[in-house]
Amino acid sequence: MILQLTPGDSKCRLYCKGSTCLYCNVFHGESAIPRLHSTWITENIVAMARPQAVHFENDEIILMFKRNNIRAVFNLQEAGEHSFCGEGNLTSGFSYDPDHLMKNEIFYYNFPLHDFEACTAERLIDIVTVMADELTRGKVAVHCHAGHGRTGMVIAACLMLVQGVTPEQAVHLVRQKRANSVQSPTQVHALHELHSLIRRNALVLPKSPFLSTSLYTEFTSKVLPKIDARRYGKVPKPIYLGFMALLHKFFSSVDLTIGSAKENPCRFRFVCSHPTSFVVTEEMLHQIGVDSFARGRKFYMKCTENGMNITNLERFLMNDVDIVDLVSFIDYFIRTAFFQMTNSEEVLLFLRSIESNAVGVLKDWSWSLCFVLSAMCCIPECTYSQLTPLVAKWFTRGDHRVADAIHMWLVRWRRRREERNAIEK
């Protein structure tokens, strides 16, 4: 409380010891980044004190960042704060010039937060979605002044979103690596507020079904990193990841491109190579065809209890999940997340239009159907008898005519692709 009531400059003079500040000078102890008070919280996130101009001499810190694959730095300070610590601040308002980072292709973000204070859950989610985005490409470094209070809070928030842990678990994980992190009750309270926000907005499944896939993607865009929105486009993330995981059962390498309707009526083109040794058994096929919805619900509930949310879904689907559970999850997700996507006549008409290369503008639901069909063209044909009735349930609530039409379409499409490949060879 005393710290919060003390004016900013006075805090710096009274508590930080001015030019002899422990955190604003060269640090000679053990640290993640040599000569800078810093700690690896996870293998991808380093918490650190604010760098000083001396750390940039001869590109010292730049070289260390690049050696450790640190692609982004998150500065949580307000411009001008702690101006009496160490050598003070530069004209940038900080103890170093961020341009040095950006000129060396290290991304720099400044999300100013008040010292020794918390922030709103909405502000935290803004910060950590950007962090989650950067973590998909490399490692990140986070600092405030000393790298404990605000830094610890933001890293804990990121762990909550990405790993699905509770506020207590997140704080414990951070403090275990860097003592005295997350320093005030208000910061802990902010993490609990964030936890409530994540539970409301980062659900894989909404509380009630959506009328369209675009409404679902709009719902998840509140918490998904921008790179996710670009990658998944108009296909809901659980459908995208579910089928990518399914393809990886059969192939070590799976690449996806999206073309124009002229190039490919289905738009999506999977290039799958390096077949695995995975074999679909009769028992697997039998289980897929029996009560997949109930099995999918059980799998979903178990994963949710273990912290699964829309942001960290990859961790739960892409790590050697049983194929029966995987298909069951997709089945449960689609049939729970949406009302009937379309009707039988529209799907049958759409299949015919693909056959004749007469597909026009794709409708809301047809993006997902195109994605599913394109993925299934690469899956062993022996699965079609079990999977096509499920696809019919997903889009038309189970019309057997649709299931039969999809089955025949897949077989014909595979034959044509095999013929094209043979000609190209």
Q: Model confidence over 23-35: pLDDT tens digits?
A: 667 788 899 999 9
Residuewise pLDDT in 10s, the chain (425 residues): 445 555 555 565 555 655 557 666 778 889 999 999 999 999 999 999 989 888 899 899 999 999 999 999 999 999 888 666 767 677 888 989 999 999 999 999 999 998 877 689 999 999 999 999 899 889 999 999 889 999 999 999 999 999 999 999 999 999 999 999 998 899 999 999 999 999 888 899 988 999 999 999 998 888 887 777 778 888 999 999 999 999 999 999 999 988 765 555 567 889 999 999 999 999 999 999 889 999 999 999 999 999 999 999 999 998 889 999 999 999 999 999 998 889 999 999 999 888 776 666 678 899 999 999 999 999 999 999 999 999 999 999 888 999 999 999 999 988 887 777 777 66
Give the active site residues: 144
Question: Which phi and psi angles does 48 have, rounded to 5°?
Answer: -150, 160
Q: Domains in the chain, please, with CATH?
A: 2-201 (3.90.190.10), 213-424 (no CATH)
Q: Mind listing the pLDDT tens digit for each residue in 74-120?
A: 999 998 886 667 676 778 889 899 999 999 999 999 999 988 776 89
